[in-house]
């Protein structure tokens, strides 16, 4: 068995790592023989296959909880290094725990917290690091981590709601595929042989259903399945390229059902990030540069990047945003203008964040109201069509008798 540990040497140096042992007592004894004073020791919980680790990604929720706990430790006047060790030692995510303990070691060695966090860009975004750096400069790290926890929790809630909204349609689609599979492989073969033995003239719909199920059971079904898999894999690989991502980002903003919702989500994310950065004391040009990298859509990224360039030349944020009416609604740009004129852009942005978040909630609810009955109707027509295609010739044959 493998155990992870954190310990101190006789000189006070912090060590962290893993050790193989038959039990926790045996692991502790080995560490003591090495002259280490154990502060944390627990069996490793990760799942491994060879050298490949599974399910060790750090989620937004993990970072939000970490930020909240760290803010509480700061508020209790616990030192930064001890706060990191205490919070890191309590994390259930093994990968995240190892990173936080290494960050604690770096901070104890004299590195600024923001620099230590920046070594893990897959966990802590440039936005997060910039906010921490602003807290270090102003001396209010506790407030900054509270602010970040609020922000990350809000983003996690919104992302969770969008994902949850897709669960019901996905279940209905899965049921439809399952029904087709059951009909094609278990129901229709027996009914087809029975109908053919009756020697009655089959209606066009019955012939179509029989031909479709024969196609699905035969080589055609395998070809269609392989083609679908190939299309999904190709689309995924293409989306990982720069040009492919731009194509799909552009396509997503043109889809009739989703485009308005996505635009509200992107505008809300842009406003929220920019407001938090400005409130944290980040210069507007730097705040725009950070925001363009985390907004999540290449078209918005380019627009925000050009906005940063315009501000660097002396233009206002609103004057540049007015050039992108397809991405930023005129009301949004107008509120930015009001914020610039009154010197309270962060407050104007927060007003727009609250507005677009509520609009996004309503859009998600409205989308579900439309999608759910539509999918149920499609499923009903599918099953009803198959049943009707079987019942009609049976009814005709009975009347003929």
Share of the chain above pLDDT 90, in %: 8
Chain mean position to CA 292: 18
| Res 311: pLDDT | 92
> Is the Cβ–Cβ distance between 147 and 351 less than 8 Å?
no
| Res 309: pLDDT | 92
Residue given tokens 């998600």 in the structure block: 364
pTM of the prediction? Answer: 0.65
Tell me the fold of 165-401: Receptor-associated Protein (1.20.81)
Comparing 330 with 13, the larger pLDDT belongs to 330
**The two three-digit tokens of residue 390, written as one number:** 């079987």
Task: Report, as an integer, the average pLDDT of 157-185.
Answer: 77
| Res 183: pLDDT | 75
Share of the chain above pLDDT 70, in %: 90
Contacts 24+ apart (CB under 8 A), 211-215: 212/184, 213/183, 213/184, 213/188, 213/189
| Res 281: pLDDT | 78
- In the sheet that holds 2-8, the strands lie side by side as 14-20, 2-8, 37-43
Neighbours of 383 (CB within 10 A): 14
pLDDT tens digits for 221-262?
788 888 989 998 998 888 888 888 888 888 888 887 778 888
Residue whose C-alpha is closest to residue 344's, from 278, 395, 291:
278
pLDDT tens digits for 92-104?
788 888 888 888 8
Task: Report, as an integer, the average pLDDT of 35-49.
Answer: 64
> Distance between CA 368 and CA 378 in Å, rounded?
15
> Distance between CA 249 and CA 239 in Å, rounded?
9
Chain mean position to CA 246: 18
pLDDT grade for 320, boundaries at 50, 70 and 90 = very high
Comparing 290 with 233, the larger pLDDT belongs to 233
Alpha carbon of 357 to those of 154, 339, 361, 363, 367: distances in Å?
Answer: 10, 19, 6, 10, 15
Domain layout of the chain by residue ranges = 1-44, 165-401
């Amino acid at each position: 068995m493998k155990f992870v540990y954190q310990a101190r040497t006789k000189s006070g140096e912090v060590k962290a790592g893993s050790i193989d042992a038959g039990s926790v007592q045996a692991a502790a004894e080995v560490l003591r023989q090495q002259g280490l004073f154990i502060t944390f020791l627990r069996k490793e919980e990760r799942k491994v296959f060879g050298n490949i680790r599974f399910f060790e990604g750090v989620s937004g929720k993990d970072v939000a909880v970490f930020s909240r706990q760290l803010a509480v430790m700061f508020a209790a006047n616990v030192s930064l290094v001890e706060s990191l060790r205490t919070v890191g030692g309590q994390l259930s995510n093994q990968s995240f725990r190892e990173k936080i303990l290494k960050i604690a070691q770096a901070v104890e060695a004299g590195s600024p917290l923001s620099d230590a966090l920046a070594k893990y860009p897959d966990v802590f975004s440039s936005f997060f690091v910039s906010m921490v750096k602003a807290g270090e400069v102003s001396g209010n790290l506790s407030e900054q981590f509270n602010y970040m926890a609020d922000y990350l929790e809000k983003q996690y809630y919104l992302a969770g709601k969008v994902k949850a909204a897709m669960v019901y349609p996905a279940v209905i689609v899965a049921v439809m595929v399952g029904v087709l599979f059951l009909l094609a492989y278990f129901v229709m073969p027996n009914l087809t042989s029975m109908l053919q033995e009756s020697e009655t003239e089959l209606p066009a719909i019955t012939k179509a259903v029989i031909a479709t199920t024969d196609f699905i059971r035969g080589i055609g079904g395998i070809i269609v399945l392989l083609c679908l898999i190939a299309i999904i894999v190709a689309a995924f690989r293409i989306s990982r390229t720069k040009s492919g991502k731009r194509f799909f980002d552009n396509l997503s903003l043109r889809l009739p059902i989703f485009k308005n919702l996505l635009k509200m989500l992107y505008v809300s994310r842009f406003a929220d990030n920019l407001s938090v950065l400005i409130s944290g004391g980040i210069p507007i040009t730097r705040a725009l540069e950070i925001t363009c990298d985390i907004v999540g859509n290449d078209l918005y990224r380019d627009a925000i990047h050009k906005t940063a360039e315009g501000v660097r030349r002396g233009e206002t944020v609103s004057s540049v945003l007015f050039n992108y009416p397809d991405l930023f609604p005129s009301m949004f740009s107008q509120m930015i203008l009001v914020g610039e004129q009154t010197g309270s852009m962060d407050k104007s942005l927060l007003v727009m964040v609250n507005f677009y978040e509520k609009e996004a909630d309503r859009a998600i609810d409205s989308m579900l109201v439309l999608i759910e009955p539509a999918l149920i109707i499609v499923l009903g027509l599918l099953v009803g069509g198959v049943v009707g295609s079987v019942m009609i010739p049976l009814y005709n044959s009975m009347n003929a008798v």
